[in-house]
Amino acid sequence: MGRRVKAIELREDERSTLEMWLHAGKTERRLVQRANVILLSSEGLPVHEISLRIGLSMQSCSKWRNRFRKSGLDGLKDESRKGRPQVYTAAERLKVVSLACTTPTDGSNQWSVRKLAEATGMGSTTVHTILHAGAIKPHKVEYWCGKSTDPEFEEKQAAILGLYLDPPDNALVLAVDEKSQIQALDRTQPVLPLATGKVRKMTSTYKRHGTTCLLAALSVHEGSVDGRCVDRHTHREFLAFLKYLYRKYPGRQLHVIMDNFSAHKHKKVKEWASKRRRLTLHFTPTYASWLNQVEIWFGIFSKDVIKGGVWHSRQELVNQIMYYINRYNEDRAKPFAWTYTGKPLVA
């Protein structure tokens, strides 16, 4: 049995700090072990028993006891090490960071580690280390939603949000838009299906069988979708879709939300709409089509149908789209729940 040694005397502030290190969930393991050594030593336990309890060698336990006696809590922290001297000066490292924040002169849009290494004469690993230390990521781009330049942004936004949150009695709010250029792509070889341990595989080469355009109207407070596939998306097709919606909901006040696409604001569309007492068109502010809830549904549709799709003809694509919409309405249709809790966007 180890020789019993004199207990380490702790001040109240030292004991509370050591116990905090010991019980905090994010404290480094090595610091937790060192704190445990001192706390057990304050109870008068011998080094041998402390070593068995904590899992450190007796030499390590003695080391941290002596360090604490000499320097207190600071003695339990790692001493700074000199390490290998830097090969490049601070000015040379700053040059890499500055260069990475510029546009390359070879016609590309961003620097790569290899290009920076060639331009500065440094190794790729060194360049990567410098960029990492400076949190510089030339390969990444983040997109953000800029402020609308529409002088009527507040009025248009308020009108649309009012329809979403508190629609008039007997009103049907429809969010309308089109998804154009949906390609009916076929693969040059059969698709290899998903299997245990194997992902679905398809050739990178493909054949085109034409395109279609999906006109869609989301019923905001019911969640159902009306859709129609057309060959083109001019004002003629859009007006025909509006007429279809107007006929489908007789006796209801229709409030149609849409963006500023030229087909939506064509004079023939406006002329027809102006003569319909049950119909009111609402245009989203400029550069703010994200206010249109049908965009949310288009995101779901793209992930479920378009991504990874294979069709042997345009008609096969159209059939799948319409079948998907019908099943969506039967099984999944419900209003979207808003989760944004930040500040309102203003112009």
The yes-or-no verdict on residue 323 having pLDDT over 90 is yes
Q: Are residues 186 and 255 in the same domain?
A: yes
Q: What is the spatial distance between Cα 184 and Cα 80, in angstroms, rounded to a whole number? A: 63
pLDDT at 347: 45
Q: Are residues 117 and 24 in the same domain?
A: no
The yes-or-no verdict on residue 199 having pLDDT over 90 is no
Taking only the tens place, the pLDDT of each residue in 256-300 is: 999 999 999 999 999 999 999 999 999 999 988 889 999 999 999
The yes-or-no verdict on residue 1 having pLDDT over 50 is no
Q: Are residues 247 and 325 in the same domain?
A: yes
Taking only the tens place, the pLDDT of each residue in 91-147 is: 888 999 999 999 998 888 899 999 999 999 899 999 999 999 888 998 888 877 777
Taking only the tens place, the pLDDT of each residue in 8-37 is: 888 888 888 888 888 887 788 888 899 899
Q: Does residue 36 form part of some domain?
A: yes
Q: Does residue 83 form part of some domain?
A: no
Give mean pLDDT, residues 303-318: 94
Q: Does residue 32 form part of some domain?
A: yes
Q: Are residues 283 and 176 in the same domain?
A: yes
Write the CB contacts of 201 (distance below 8 Å, at least 6 apart in sequence).
191, 192
Nearest to 10 by CA among 50, 30, 32, 37: 37
Nearest to 243 by CA among 213, 269, 261: 269
Q: Are residues 67 and 95 in the same domain?
A: no
Q: Are residues 289 and 207 in the same domain?
A: yes
Average pLDDT, the chain: 89
Q: Are residues 67 and 97 in the same domain?
A: no
**Residue 342: pLDDT band with limits 50, 70, 90:** low
pLDDT at 3: 54
pLDDT at 292: 94
Total-model pTM: 0.66
Q: How many residues does the chain have?
A: 347
Give mean pLDDT, residues 53-71: 89
Taking only the tens place, the pLDDT of each residue in 236-266 is: 999 999 999 999 999 899 999 999 999 999 9
Q: Are residues 263 and 211 in the same domain?
A: yes
- Burial of 107 from C-beta contacts in 10 A (0-12 / 13-18 / 19+): exposed
Which token pair is 190? 């059969």
Taking only the tens place, the pLDDT of each residue in 153-178 is: 889 989 999 999 889 988 999 999 99
Q: What is the spatial distance between Cα 186 and Cα 202, in angstroms, rounded to a whole number? A: 10
pLDDT at 84: 67
Q: What are phi and psi of 282, to 5 degrees?
A: -125, 120
Q: Residue 298 is part of which domain span?
A: 153-192+202-331
Q: Does residue 308 form part of some domain?
A: yes
pLDDT at 343: 64
Q: Does residue 207 form part of some domain?
A: yes
Give mean pLDDT, residues 309-316: 94
Q: Are residues 250 and 114 in the same domain?
A: no
Q: What is the spatial distance between Cα 61 and Cα 41, in angstroms, rounded to a whole number? A: 9
CA–CA distances in Å: residue 332 to residues 16, 294, 335: 55, 15, 10
The total number of structural domains in the chain stands at 3
